[in-house]
Amino acid sequence: PVTGELVERRVKEGDLVQPGDVLAVLRADELEAAVREAEAGLAQLQQSTRPQAQASLREAQARLAQASREAKRRRDLFEQQMITREAMEQAIQAETITRTALEQALLTARSLVAGNPGEAAARARVASAKAQLAKITIRAEVAGTVLTRNAEPGDLVQPGRVLFEIAGSGDTEVVVPLDEKNLAVLAVGQAGMCITDAYPMRPFPAKVSFIAPSVDPQRGTVEVRFSVTPVPGFLRQGMTVSVNVETGRRARVIVVPNDALSGMDGNRAALWLVVNGRATRRQVQLGLRGVTETEVTAGLRAGEWILADAQPALAQGERVRVVAAAVASGPATGRELPVKLD
């Protein structure tokens, strides 16, 4: 990440982009200068320092050859007693000094051969400077559609700032955070019906394609994704969507209004029935539960009368009078029982 001034923006909302497309460009003055400085250091090492070291090595080799010849000549003269020992030792000492200088020149030349640590470090500085310079060009990482742009030319861009939001192309998904209590009845492949807040009268089908393996501990929800095929033309990224999931289906069953149920305990509940003109409380077994109605699997027969909204003060055996004729339960309804998850 780099900090810099935005000097050019090349896309707008709704534009289609491909991986590598340029979205924006930042000012590059300082980073370009850093690249030039690093390249100059590498060039100096390759074109000046290394040749100088080679020349110094050749000069040291020549001096040692000359000093060696002089030392040999003086040894011969000393053996012939034509010079003093001191004169001979001076030549030998000079030979030793030039040999040490040659060894140092050789070490320096070897340290500057191609690929040496110094050159490798210089190349690394060039690569690092170029990598930083490349970051001033903001490119798309995925194919998709630009949803938002959050910066304009002249704005200061800092690491971590979101400049563009891009919706990736590919399959359309509806992402829903469902209450974890619904996990037991969810499964990949289940059908659902989606309704957007913007177009409530235009529902569209979806299918459970993914259930997250973990639960959000803060919210107590699990992420569920629904694949949408075909995709409605009105659907937009970021829309608020409600989803009804069909977790089960029953045909020709007895159902009762949810308001008629009381004393819920797992898959059991109580109903108030009208039997011979008196209120009778009865325990029943429940099946699928819908938004407004629930299936009764045991404890209730088709044709029996129930109180859809019994008063809490109602007593067992109390006489009641039906004032509104409505059959709350009956035989085969032939209807599907929709189930809505929180």
- pLDDT, one tens digit per residue, over 227-243 is 998 889 898 888 899 99
Q: Is a pLDDT exceeding 60 seen at residue 325? A: no
- Rounded to whole angstroms, the Cα distance separating 6 from 150 reads 11
Environment class of 211 (CB within 10 Å of its CB; exposed 0-12, middle 13-18, buried 19+): middle
Q: Is a pLDDT exceeding 60 seen at residue 123? A: yes
Centroid of chain to Cα 42? 38
Look at residue 122 in the predicted model and tell me its pLDDT: 74
Prior bond to 230 cis, omega within 30?
yes
Element (H, E) at 152: none
DSSP letters spanning 49-102: IHHHHHHHHHHHHHHHHHHHHHHHHHHHHHHTTSS-HHHHHHHHHHHHHHHHHH
- Rounded to whole angstroms, the Cα distance separating 66 from 63 reads 5
Look at residue 227 in the predicted model and tell me its pLDDT: 92
Average pLDDT over residues 153-177: 84
Average pLDDT over residues 167-196: 87
- Rounded to whole angstroms, the Cα distance separating 319 from 280 reads 10
Average pLDDT over residues 56-71: 85
- Rounded to whole angstroms, the Cα distance separating 317 from 283 reads 15
Average pLDDT over residues 60-67: 86
Q: Mean pLDDT lowest for which of 112-116, 219-223, 300-304? A: 112-116
Contact 251, 289 (CB under 8 A): no
Average pLDDT over residues 208-214: 93
- pLDDT, one tens digit per residue, over 192-206 is 999 999 999 999 999
User: Which percentage of the chain shows pLDDT scores above 90?
Assistant: 21
- Rounded to whole angstroms, the Cα distance separating 66 from 69 reads 5
- Rounded to whole angstroms, the Cα distance separating 240 from 174 reads 9
Given CA atoms 250, 254, 258, 264 in this order, what sign does their dihedral have? negative
CA distances for 340 relative to 26, 211, 284, 288, angstroms: 50, 17, 22, 11
| Amino acid sitting at position 61 | Q
DSSP letters spanning 120-143: HHHHHHHHHHHHHHHTTEEE-SS-
